[in-house]
Structure 1
Amino acid sequence: MNKLLVAGLVFSLGAGLGGCATDPYTGEEEVSKTATGAGIGALAGAVIGAATASKNDRDKAILTGAAAGAAVGGGAGYYMDQQESKLRKELAGTGVQVKREGNDLRLIMPGNITFATGAYNIREDFLPVLSSVGKVLKEFSKTRIMVSGHTDSVGSESSNQKLSELRAASVRDYLLEKNISASRVKAAGYGESSPIASNDSAEGRQANRRVELKLEPTE
């Protein structure tokens, strides 16, 4: 009985908070991030309710826990849905990738559009793009921002590490200039240690030279 109760509640809460939607970028129908978050929250809340209640009150505790979990999960999902939508509109055609991972967002900024070779000063023609990012981040203040710098494997490991740190710091400092609260932003360099493609080809090395922004909801 409890399993059926949880399954039905997760389904109904997820449908009520978003259901299926058509992705405007791929044209494919998918379950909305809000609905997914609500379902995950409902399941977690139901499990906690079942584990902490007495046998006689277990069904009631499952319902209460699932409803509370869905509200939390769906709320964060909806907030990040809205932020993702605005970022995609602002960054369309700029070369910056927007990727969704659960309730987190990743902005991948290729090195060829952000910095000159071997330099850590942001390219002048990229500043308007970064300003657009800053505008959205200022509006959606309930997110943490992790700026990470990455390089390819050409050159010494120590020089790549230093360059990645300086590039990440440059992006962080620019966001702070756009009145993003310093308490929200952290920066770190990872050198050549986190490739996303093979360093054996020019295309792979170009993909690895990048700065990423990871956005996480704070609530």
Structure 2
Amino acid sequence: MNNKATKLVVALATATVFVSGCQTLDPYTREEGTSQTTKGALIGAGIGAVVGLISGDDAVERRQRALIGAGIGALAGGAVGAYQDRQEAALRAELEGTGVSVARMGDNITLNMPGNVTFATDSADLSPAFFDVLNSVGKVLGEYDKTVVEVAGHTDSTGSEDYNQSLSERRAASVARYLNAQGVISQRIITLGMGELRPVADNGTPDGRQANRRVEITMVPITAS
């Protein structure tokens, strides 16, 4: 097995180990998802490899400090969870029926936007169907501005690893530019590309590749250290 295949097998196996047996039916999407209790128990055990924040605490904390210094107030104590509860409810209401899933891990909220919603194959140009979705996301992010926003691009395994890395970065940048044009200030946004290294489905099937061609947007509350 070559190095590329080995990486993908390990990543997919990790996702399978941590998610299997921990599924509940999401009343919003009518799809299976990981329960809030299970997510909390698995935060320290690798579930972040499947969904949620990628860029790491240091990058987020640096951005939080800069935003607080620029005059955006920080959340504290019980206000953090309550704020994210309201934002999550607003996102679910805005995105119902779009094919975008909303996941909660602790105080972070992640939107998973699959390939049939976001980009055409081998393109970093936003699909027309994606505009309304991003308009809705931008509206909520404007109303709930006390968050750092991580935009992560992902691809399937078609093509070379280097090409897919570049494509995922360009896709994340396209989403960030659009959100910025909708009024989300650039200082809140962290972009990164993950290429093909974090699959959520089997790249051996068309449906699996479509699921892996995705954008994930994670909202992290701005809190004082």
TM-score range, shorter chain: 0.5 to 0.7
| Percent identical residues | 51
Deviation of 1:108 (Å): 0.5
Partners in 2 of 1:124 and 1:209 — Cα distance? 16
Cα-Cα RMSD: 2.2
2:208 is equivalent to residue 204 of structure 1: yes
| Corresponding residue SS for 1:203 | helix
Partners in 2 of 1:140 and 1:24 — Cα distance? 24
Q: CA offsets, 1:22-69, max 9 Å, x none?
A: x9648xxxxx99xx9xxxxxxxxxxxxxxxxxxxxxxxxxxxxxxxxx
Number of aligned positions between the proteins:
157
* Residue in 2 that maps onto 1:90: 94
State the one-letter code of the partner of 2:134: L
Deviation of 1:201 (Å): 2.1
In the TM superposition, structure 1's runs of 4+ consecutive aligned residues that sit over 6 Å from their partners are none
* Residue in 1 that maps onto 2:69: none
* Residue in 1 that maps onto 2:189: 185
Partners in 2 of 1:207 and 1:148 — Cα distance? 14
Partners in 2 of 1:201 and 1:176 — Cα distance? 35
Q: CA offsets, 1:141-183, max 9 Å, x none?
A: 0000000000011111111111101100000000000111111
Which among 131, 138, 143 is matched to residue 135 of structure 2? 131
Deviation of 1:75 (Å): 1.1
Partners in 1 of 2:164 and 2:142 — Cα distance? 31
- TM-score, with structure 2 as normaliser: 0.65
Alignment of 1:159-198 (within 5 A): 159-198=163-202
Partners in 2 of 1:121 and 1:190 — Cα distance? 18
Partners in 2 of 1:79 and 1:85 — Cα distance? 10
Which among 107, 110, 126 is matched to residue 106 of structure 1? 110
2:161 is equivalent to residue 157 of structure 1: yes
| Corresponding residue SS for 1:196 | coil
| Structure 1 pair 153–79 and aligned structure 2 pair: CA distance change class (3 A) | same
| Corresponding residue SS for 2:112 | strand
Partners in 1 of 2:79 and 2:186 — Cα distance? 25
State the one-letter code of the partner of 2:216: E
Unpaired segments ≥5 residues, structure 1 = 1-22, 27-31, 37-70
Alignment of 1:8-23 (within 5 A): none
| Structure 1 pair 161–24 and aligned structure 2 pair: CA distance change class (3 A) | closer
Deviation of 1:124 (Å): 1.7
Deviation of 1:189 (Å): 0.6
| Structure 1 pair 24–152 and aligned structure 2 pair: CA distance change class (3 A) | closer
| Corresponding residue SS for 1:112 | coil
Partners in 2 of 1:185 and 1:73 — Cα distance? 24
State the one-letter code of the partner of 2:144: F
State the one-letter code of the partner of 1:192: E
State the one-letter code of the partner of 2:87: Q
State the one-letter code of the partner of 1:177: A
Deviates more, 1:198-207 or 1:136-145: 198-207
State the one-letter code of the partner of 2:83: Y
- TM-score, with structure 1 as normaliser: 0.67
* Residue in 1 that maps onto 2:21: none
